[in-house]
Amino acid sequence: MSSTISQKCPTCGSNLEYDADLEKWPCEYCHKNYSIDELVLEKAEDSKELEYYHCSNCGAEIFNNKYNITANCIYCDSPVIIKQRIAGEFNPNHIIPFKSSKKEILNAFKEHISLKRLLPKDFFSYCKNIQIEGMYVPYWILTAEVSAAIYGTTLKRINGQEIANHYRRKGTMSFDKIPADAKTTMNSNHLDAIEPFDYKQFEPFNYAYLLGYYAEKYDTTKDEVYEEEIKKRIEDVAVDKLLKAGTNKRPDSLFSKNVNIYKSKFEYMLVPVWIIKVKYKGKTYDFYMNDQSKKLSGTFPVSVVKEFILSIIIFLTIFIPVLYFFITAYITTFSYIMIAVGILAAFILKNIVKSYSVGKTGKKDRDYITQGSFFVSDNSEETSYL
Ligand SMILES: [Zn+2]
Ligand SMILES: [Zn+2]
């Protein structure tokens, strides 16, 4: 029994790959497109992790790192799947299959670029040497019930009398499918930045979707991602939700919180991400793109010349009225306007330059709370005079 799987055409026996456009497995020899029900699938049994794998097609040795699920045989060029890495505890519950073609991703990337006015002029031409690969990234997805409580005090002064408002707020909510990537070798902040994924598109896992793509198994267990990432994410969202549910947005003192998380379901899922690499002047720029939403993360280069010219213009806008004031000792309304415009422009420029690094802060734009599941059970306030 071979340690790898390569998917054969049920008619002629040649090697098949998944085609995202067709959502089928086409055979280039018999010119037939097979659906998942028409393929003869092998079972991924739990075998031992081996030091070397052999191509199930030609028998040659396959060079591979520890985590790759898929590989391409360098001798016969057939895409193969390493059985052990999708077996047992590594058998994913679900997969979101790729839907976009490489061409669509290239066009989406070019669209992102066309909006970046501060890019070096020649960056676009370097995009001819762009490398675009689809990769199934392993994720842990948690569904959980949460009950949370916060306590706080806000101090006020009314007619010279100091008043303390003590308040207590308790609530419950359900979190639906919070994702956390299970790969330490990938940039977590950049992955967070391309969330959310549309989970309605997932399918029960089937290795045939992996053919023709990169795929890696997890290197972080669900307990690790829970402790390192998901727990804090839930706590922050729950506390924030409760704070926003009342009039006292931020308490002054005595703020304490208590968040209980009841994990109901952890699922292991493979998620479609495009890895885009552009080599530009000796440096490689890495980007991630969400296959579904085409959301992009990564860091673009900023043209030093363009940034410098803009900075000079901003500097002069502020400097000229100030100089005018020192020479004539007059300050006019127009001077104020110029200085204000200069400061505003400097602020805008700073933010534009910052936006060239997409996803550096790992900002999440979704709280993953199930709609309609948030209930406040206690929202009491007490006032005391100090
Ligand atoms: Zn065939
Ligand atoms: Zn081979």
Distance from the alpha carbon of residue 54 to the mean position of ligand 2, in angstroms: 8
Relative to the alpha carbon of 16, which ligand is closest?
1
- Average model confidence (pLDDT) across the chain: 87
**Cβ-proximal residues to 149 (8 Å cutoff; 6+ apart), any chain:** 168, 169, 170, 171, 242, 257, 258, 378
Q: Do 86 and 153 belong together in one domain? A: no
The larger pLDDT score, comparing residue 315 to residue 24, is at 24
Reference 272, options 351, 181, 171, 384; nearest CA is: 181
Q: Do 296 and 310 belong together in one domain? A: no
Q: What is the pTM of this model?
A: 0.84
- Percentage of the chain surpassing pLDDT 70? 94
**Cβ-proximal residues to 25 (8 Å cutoff; 6+ apart), any chain:** 7, 16, 17, 18, 19, 33, 34, 35, 36, 39, 208, 211
The range of the structural domain enclosing residue 84 comes to 1-91
What pLDDT shows up at residue 364? 59
Q: Do 47 and 111 belong together in one domain? A: no
292 inside domain: yes
How confident is residue 90, by pLDDT bands cut at 50, 70 and 90? very high
Helix ranges, the chain (H):
102-114, 123-126, 188-193, 222-225, 231-244, 304-328, 333-354
Distance from the alpha carbon of residue 8 to the mean position of ligand 2, in angstroms: 13
Whether the pLDDT of residue 25 is over 90: the answer is yes
Q: Do 248 and 366 belong together in one domain? A: yes
Q: Do 55 and 188 belong together in one domain? A: no
Q: What is the mean pLDDT of residues 244-271?
A: 84
pLDDT tens digits for range 197-246: 998 899 999 999 999 999 999 999 999 999 999 999 999 999 989 888 87
What pLDDT shows up at residue 231? 93
Which amino acid, residue 187? N
Relative to the alpha carbon of 59, which ligand is closest?
2
What pLDDT shows up at residue 360? 53
What pLDDT shows up at residue 292? 96
Distance from the alpha carbon of residue 7 to the mean position of ligand 1, in angstroms: 11
Distance from the alpha carbon of residue 86 to the mean position of ligand 1, in angstroms: 26
Q: Do 62 and 120 belong together in one domain? A: no
Q: What is the mean pLDDT of residues 131-149?
A: 95
Relative to the alpha carbon of 28, which ligand is closest?
1
Q: What is the mean pLDDT of residues 285-308?
A: 91
Q: Alpha carbon 28 to chain centroid distance?
A: 35
Q: What is the mean pLDDT of residues 291-296?
A: 94
Whether the pLDDT of residue 345 is over 90: the answer is no
Q: What is the mean pLDDT of residues 146-163?
A: 88
Separation between Cα atoms, residue 86 and residue 41, nearest integer Å: 14
Relative to the alpha carbon of 56, which ligand is closest?
2
Distance from the alpha carbon of residue 77 to the mean position of ligand 1, in angstroms: 16
Distance from the alpha carbon of residue 52 to the mean position of ligand 1, in angstroms: 29
Whether the pLDDT of residue 354 is over 90: the answer is no
Whether the pLDDT of residue 362 is over 60: the answer is no
Separation between Cα atoms, residue 276 and residue 253, nearest integer Å: 47
Relative to the alpha carbon of 73, which ligand is closest?
2
Distance from the alpha carbon of residue 183 to the mean position of ligand 2, in angstroms: 28
Distance from the alpha carbon of residue 206 to the mean position of ligand 2, in angstroms: 22
Distance from the alpha carbon of residue 295 to the mean position of ligand 1, in angstroms: 36
Are 124 and 107 contacting, i.e. CB atoms less than 8 angstroms apart?
Answer: no
Q: Alpha carbon 373 to chain centroid distance?
A: 25
Relative to the alpha carbon of 71, which ligand is closest?
2
What pLDDT shows up at residue 173? 96
Q: What is the mean pLDDT of residues 302-314?
A: 86
Relative to the alpha carbon of 15, which ligand is closest?
1
Q: Do 351 and 287 belong together in one domain? A: no
96 inside domain: no
Please identify, among 91, 123, 141, the residue that sits at the C-terminal boundary of a domain.
91
What pLDDT shows up at residue 346? 86
Q: What is the mean pLDDT of residues 26-38?
A: 92
Distance from the alpha carbon of residue 174 to the mean position of ligand 2, in angstroms: 48
Relative to the alpha carbon of 25, which ligand is closest?
1
The larger pLDDT score, comparing residue 385 to residue 205, is at 205
What pLDDT shows up at residue 45? 67
Q: Do 334 and 379 belong together in one domain? A: no
Distance from the alpha carbon of residue 21 to the mean position of ligand 1, in angstroms: 19
What pLDDT shows up at residue 369? 92
Reference 15, options 98, 80, 63, 84; nearest CA is: 80
Q: Do 297 and 310 belong together in one domain? A: no
How confident is residue 123, by pLDDT bands cut at 50, 70 and 90? confident
Distance from the alpha carbon of residue 133 to the mean position of ligand 1, in angstroms: 25
The larger pLDDT score, comparing residue 201 to residue 127, is at 201
Distance from the alpha carbon of residue 270 to the mean position of ligand 1, in angstroms: 28
Distance from the alpha carbon of residue 202 to the mean position of ligand 1, in angstroms: 28
What pLDDT shows up at residue 261? 95
Q: Do 291 and 372 belong together in one domain? A: yes
Distance from the alpha carbon of residue 314 to the mean position of ligand 1, in angstroms: 65
What pLDDT shows up at residue 365? 61
Separation between Cα atoms, residue 194 and residue 202, nearest integer Å: 17
Q: What is the mean pLDDT of residues 173-192?
A: 91
Least confident window among 80-84, 165-169, 217-221, 245-249: 245-249
Relative to the alpha carbon of 38, which ligand is closest?
1
Q: What is the mean pLDDT of residues 309-322?
A: 85
Distance from the alpha carbon of residue 18 to the mean position of ligand 1, in angstroms: 14
Relative to the alpha carbon of 53, which ligand is closest?
2
Q: Do 296 and 335 belong together in one domain? A: no
293 inside domain: yes
Q: Do 261 and 292 belong together in one domain? A: yes
